[in-house]
């Protein structure tokens, strides 16, 4: 299995809702990432998990809360989002080696719309 | 910090060869990657240059010159399906953060 899966594909939520994005990989990768991508822009790193521990938080607002329950799963919990948080949220994984970080496997993303 | 600059758009015709450039400024440099992303799709890894020189993978080649802080992606025998956005990317010191370039939109016409 050489793919990263993400659910849901699309999500529309109000500013008072709580929702979660899910990501799963079965490639044995021990580094997992969340990125945010706005239209016509490059992906921007949000969080990095290495061996199930949060290793990088790119000063992301607390309304985004990541969780790594095990080595195959990564969640992103959303609460009290703003309309400007509407974007494509991408999950990725890679081997946690110096070369592995350069070759990341991305999931198809969740298209989030905040009303 | 890191910054990687690319041309915003490149156009070419089917069967042609196109080069997408990437110039970078980084405090620490550990190689250059290239990713392809079709509209509505996920970024897909294409190649990685850890050392100076040319790496070839089928119709795609990637080049790196550390002395010039410059790299490029060369696409040969262009096909319509190559129309996509292309990003160069580099990891930072500490290896965990992959920073993407500004991105180049490639439009291939018949």
Please state the rounded mean pLDDT for residues A48-76.
Answer: 94
What is the Cα–Cα distance from B21 to A110, expressed in whole angstroms?
A: 30
Which pLDDT score, from 0 to 100, does residue B95 have?
62
The distance of B6 to chain A (nearest Cα, Å) reads: 11
B105 neighbourhood in chain A, CB within 8 Å: 40
C-beta separation of A37 from A77 below 8 A: no
- On whether any CB of chain A is under 8 Å from the CB of B30, the answer is yes
Write out the two tokens for A32. 């997992």
- On whether any CB of chain B is under 8 Å from the CB of A103, the answer is yes
What is the Cα–Cα distance from A12 to A114, expressed in whole angstroms?
A: 6
* Residue of A40, A43, A48 with shortest CB distance to B100: A43
C-beta separation of A12 from A22 below 8 A: no
Question: Chain A to chain B, count of Cβ pairs less than 8 Å apart?
Answer: 62
* Per-residue model confidence as pLDDT tens digits over B6-36: 999 999 999 999 999 999 998 777 889 999 9
* pLDDT over threshold 90, residue B1: no
* Per-residue model confidence as pLDDT tens digits over B42-101: 999 999 998 999 999 899 999 999 999 999 999 999 999 999 999 999 987 666 788 999
Higher pLDDT, A97 or A80: A80
- On whether any CB of chain B is under 8 Å from the CB of A66, the answer is no
Q: What is the chain A residue with the closest CA to B42?
A: A108
């Amino acid at each position: 299995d050489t793919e990263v899966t993400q659910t849901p594909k699309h999500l529309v939520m109000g500013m008072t809702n709580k929702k979660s994005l899910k990501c799963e990989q079965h490639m044995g990768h021990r580094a997992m990432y969340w990125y945010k991508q706005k239209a016509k822009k490059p992906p921007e790193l949000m969080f990095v998990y290495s061996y199930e521990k949060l290793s990088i938080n790119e000063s992301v607002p607390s309304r985004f809360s990541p969780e790594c329950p095990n080595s195959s799963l990564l969640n992103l919990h959303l609460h009290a989002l703003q309309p400007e948080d509407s974007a494509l949220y991408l999950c990725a994984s890679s081997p946690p080696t110096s070369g592995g970080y350069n070759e990341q496997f991305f999931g198809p993303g969740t298209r989030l719309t905040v009303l | 910090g890191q910054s990687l600059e690319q041309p915003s758009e490149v156009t070419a015709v089917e069967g042609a060869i196109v080069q997408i450039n990437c110039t970078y400024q980084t405090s620490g440099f550990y190689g250059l990657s290239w990713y392809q992303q079709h509209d509505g799709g996920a970024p897909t890894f294409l190649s990685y240059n850890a050392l100076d020189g040319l790496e070839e993978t089928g119709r795609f080649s990637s080049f790196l010159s550390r002395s010039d802080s410059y790299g490029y992606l060369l696409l040969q025998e262009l096909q319509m399906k190559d129309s996509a956005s292309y990003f160069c990317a580099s990891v930072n010191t500490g290896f965990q953060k992959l920073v993407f370039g500004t991105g180049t939109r490639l439009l291939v016409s018949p």
